[in-house]
Structure 1
Amino acid sequence: MTRLRPGIIVLLLLLTAGFHPSFARSEEPVSGLRFGMQEVGFSAGYLISVRLTSDHSTKQQGPALMPSWSMILTDPIGKSWYQGQILLGAEIVYVQFQEPVLTHGIGFTPKIKYLFSGYHSLRPYVEFAGGPFYTDLVGYVPEESARLNFILTAGVGLSWFVTPRMALNAGYRFHHISNAGTRYPNVGLNASLPYIGFAFYF
């Protein structure tokens, strides 16, 4: 009588017991977050000037700090790769401009975020925000003529859930500052903003 190898016996027992290895679940979406939960986060990045036209001459740059709060408005919606959840909240944006001179800016921006369901602990997202922004750049840069401005941001990122209720984030935003035509000139300032951060859910 032929003897079965120990490895084959173990494999047969696992299959009989209905066990499925973890790689067999690699396409199952993460579903730990629910409607009504809150997200409290903090991100930090570095503003890098983007000059889109010849009228953009300032090379503004500097660190940015962004504490935020959001609420999850939906359980997972959609199907396939675009399944995700909508978050709505607000963010404070502080920027220390280090070029051409040391100046500051602070703003408050409502924001909307779409957090894709992703796979396992990785969840990509897209986000948009905009709101009033006060800065003392006036008199130092030719692109701006008002202290009260507005910022618009659009970005993408990736959340790594190290626990079901905590995530580490890394992303990129395109950052625009202008006075919405309330004063002249209003060329505006554009920048790239790579950032990292973390978020808690409860």
Structure 2
Amino acid sequence: MKKCALLILYSALTVCLFCSFALAQVEIDEKKVNLGKKRHYEAGMREYGISGGVGYAGEDEVITDFIVMPKMGLILADFDGPVPGAVEMDMELMGGMFWRPERAEEGAFNLLFTYNFETGTKFVPFFSAGAGAYWTNLDVNELGSRWNGSPQGGLGVKYFLNDRVNLSAMGRIRHISNAGTASPNRGVDSMFILFGINFLR
């Protein structure tokens, strides 16, 4: 009877010890996996790129345009925690052309802040918001001045081809108006679909 009890006790201790080692190994493996997650952005890095796309606004007249935007971005900070990612400050030079309701030109300097969401994969969703100083010779009822402000923002995703190069797709909403410095000042709200390529340094 004593031998049986000792055997049961020995077996129980062995199982407990084995389970403890197994759980410890699982925790170690999980830490290794977390540590091994791919981080694309770190504070101090720079991102250069160019994007372009088409915009549409349904005002009194349909307004459509095509824009191209080279950019330079600086990674200000990176974060771990529940929402890992990095804050980026982007400076964009925008040039474009309207083809509806008339041929006209546009240009702007934009300053935006972007949060890149690190997922541990090649896909990095992001959110951008900011504003710009904007010029256009478009003659429509909604704009009373050639000089305007252009608050804007949108959502997108980047796909990394390698450590330093990514492709991007984004939907962006842009408002242009003159802040009451001229009349009329109804403004133009456009929705853009943008595609781009970016290079990290």
Pair 101,74 (structure 1): closer, same or farther in 2 beyond 3 Å: same
CA contact (8 A) 1:64 1:96 kept: yes
For structure 1, the 5+ residue unaligned runs are 1-17, 19-23
The percentage of aligned residue pairs carrying the same residue is: 26
1:47 aligns with 2:55: yes
C-alpha offsets along residues 27-55 of structure 1, whole Å, 9 cap, x if unaligned?
Answer: 96421332111000100110111x4xxxx
Give me the TM-score of the superposition, normalised by structure 1: 0.79
Correspondence list, 1:52-201, <5 A: 56-75=59-78, 77-80=79-82, 82-137=83-138, 140-201=139-200
Report the AA paired with residue 81 of structure 2: K
Task: Answer with 1 or 2: which has the greater Rg.
Answer: 2
CA contact (8 A) 2:39 2:120 kept: no
For structure 2, the 5+ residue unaligned runs are 1-24, 26-31
CA contact (8 A) 1:96 1:105 kept: yes
Higher RCO (CA 8 Å, separation ≥ 6 residues): 1
CA contact (8 A) 2:41 2:85 kept: no
C-alpha offsets along residues 55-101 of structure 1, whole Å, 9 cap, x if unaligned?
Answer: x31211021111110111112x1423x21100113101122111111
Which residue is equivalent to 2:43? Answer: 35
Q: How much does 1:106 deviate? A: 0.1
Q: Report the RMSD for the aligned CA atoms in angstroms.
A: 2.0
Report the AA paired with residue 182 of structure 1: T
Q: How much does 1:25 deviate? A: 5.6
Q: How much does 1:118 deviate? A: 1.6
CA contact (8 A) 1:29 1:117 kept: no
Separation (CA, whole Å) in 1 of partners of 2:147 and 2:100: 19
C-alpha offsets along residues 112-159 of structure 1, whole Å, 9 cap, x if unaligned?
Answer: 11000123111000001212101101xx21000101111111111100
Separation (CA, whole Å) in 1 of partners of 2:141 and 2:36: 52
Separation (CA, whole Å) in 2 of partners of 1:195 and 1:68: 13
CA contact (8 A) 1:26 1:120 kept: no
Pair 36,185 (structure 1): closer, same or farther in 2 beyond 3 Å: same
Separation (CA, whole Å) in 1 of partners of 2:80 and 2:61: 43
Residue-pair matches, total: 171
More helix by share: 2
CA contact (8 A) 2:40 2:118 kept: no
Which residue is equivalent to 1:14? Answer: none
Pair 48,29 (structure 1): closer, same or farther in 2 beyond 3 Å: farther
CA contact (8 A) 2:45 2:75 kept: yes
Give me the TM-score of the superposition, normalised by structure 2: 0.80
